[in-house]
Structure 1
Amino acid sequence: MKRKNLVALSAFAVCGILMVSCGGGSTPKTSLKNATDSLSYATGINLADQGGLARFLEQQGILQSSSNIEYDYQMRISAATDSVQKQALQKELNAKIDSVNKVNAPKLNDFIRGLKEALKGGKEKSAYIQGLSIGTQIAESMLPQFNEQLFPGDSTKKVNEDQLLAGLLGTLKNEKLAIDKAEAGPFVENKIKEAQESHLREQYKDSIAAGDAFMADNAKREGVVTLPSGLQYEIVKEGSGAVPTDTDQVKVHYHGTLINGTVFDSSVDRGEPAVFGVTQVIPGWTEALKLMPVGSKWKLYIPYNLAYGAQERQAIKPFSNLIFDVELIDIEKK
């Protein structure tokens, strides 16, 4: 499954969305009433904190950055030896940031008005053309992409624009945030991953059901061992050598198929064993290798959550259970 990076949808558009805050135009009131509001707010923070708009606005003479000031004072605060000194430095930092915000405010006023109007469907009018132009890019290009990524297949849901602006402008005004900047990016990325996986699960529900039924029936066969993780195996030949550990490299021959018999990879067919680290493969393989003595031949039945999950790998579709014939030839010295 290919997944776009939300933060890198468009370098220029992200530039244009980031620093919309410090001056004119008020920040919408933060109101995280539901999951969509929180996700929208975090998206705004993430866009403001991670993109390149600050540099863009600095180049345009619209913005004076406070990053160097913050970094310098944070280092000094960390090095301070007592709480009184730390409080004094924090007070100085707050005053300097306030000063920068006041300098930025009038310059950003028109930019922010234009950006806000563009998000609400406005047209170009006057001096705030840059904010309006960038806001138009957000409204016409980025927001549809955000909605597609965050709510795939559900046209009834969309990003809350007010909360997106609340997170975005609050970040750029150095206001106290309801979601920490460091947490916003991972939060949004995880929600995208969850949303897309949920959408894929619905698309592949029949395949998932067929795979689950196969594993359930296979577990009843004589000689098949089912581990707590869901991994199944049967011993074709029991080896008598050492058992690999996480730090080992192994030499193996293998033949991989889907549950319908489709071959997707085979060192046997290529005529050459493969060598790789025990932890450099899918979880189902790693778990099995750490149980197999050298010289063993096992047949592995790997559920999709121990294989490639929701990812698509050529013939391997999302949520595919995999079958491998594995011969552990040797443990390789590094």
Structure 2
Amino acid sequence: MKSLFKVTLLATTMAVALNAPLAMAADTAPAQQAAPQAPKNANFKNDDQQSAYALGASLGRYMENSLKEQEKLGIALDKGQLIAGVQDAFAGKSKLSDQEIEQTLQAFETRVKGAAQAKMEKDAQENTAKGEAFATKFAKESGVKKTDSGLLYKVEKAGTGESPKDSDTVVVNYKGTLIDGTEFDNSYKRGEPLSFRLDGVIPGWTEGLKHVKKGGKIKLVIPPQLAYGKNGVPGIPANSTLVFDVELLDIKPAPKADANAQAPAAPTADGSKAQ
């Protein structure tokens, strides 16, 4: 198993290599492109000095951010010892043998994983409690209804015609937020409505959009079991209750021959593809 900091250093090295200009063979390129020039800085005697400093500064920033992430997990690494380790390694005077370094970093990686798991479980419990409190308060608002599944919704504009069916493709504009108002997705800001088959998204959407018709608007408060559950997704923590303001722009019935066909991969509520 690769240790955490070996992976970090490898990633940094790869990033530098991948961003370097690629050399083209003379017989395949009509003209050799000139390598981009770094801006000159009076603090350095030559390009090599400036490049070395830039690499060090980039690595230093990355490691500083890593330390801050560890602090969020309750692990407070000594910055002075980190810097001393780098200096001693360059000087060839490491206080630890290669084997000790490997064992120490493997143990540290285990600590980080354990702390991250504990924090995720704690956050999930807190999110559940906060979500339930939010839903209880929202349920008392005028016009709010609750389904047997636990979905809460408020129809702000009914729309006209028929409500969508599972096999229909719907076109919507929407805004999605956490219960504290943090916005994680917004089709209005993207300037492009989202189109998807109704049974290809999170259950809260599949159920909720059946309560409006074309041209309708609805507010959905979706409990975690009808959204992304205990795992969460990037931007949406585990066990999050989600709030969506959705405008149903259009409904496109599935062709009769395909009405009972298996649903293809469709965008989820956050605009990504369903697995």
The TM-score with structure 2 as length reference comes to 0.48
Which structure has more helix as a fraction of its residues? 1
The TM-score with structure 1 as length reference comes to 0.40
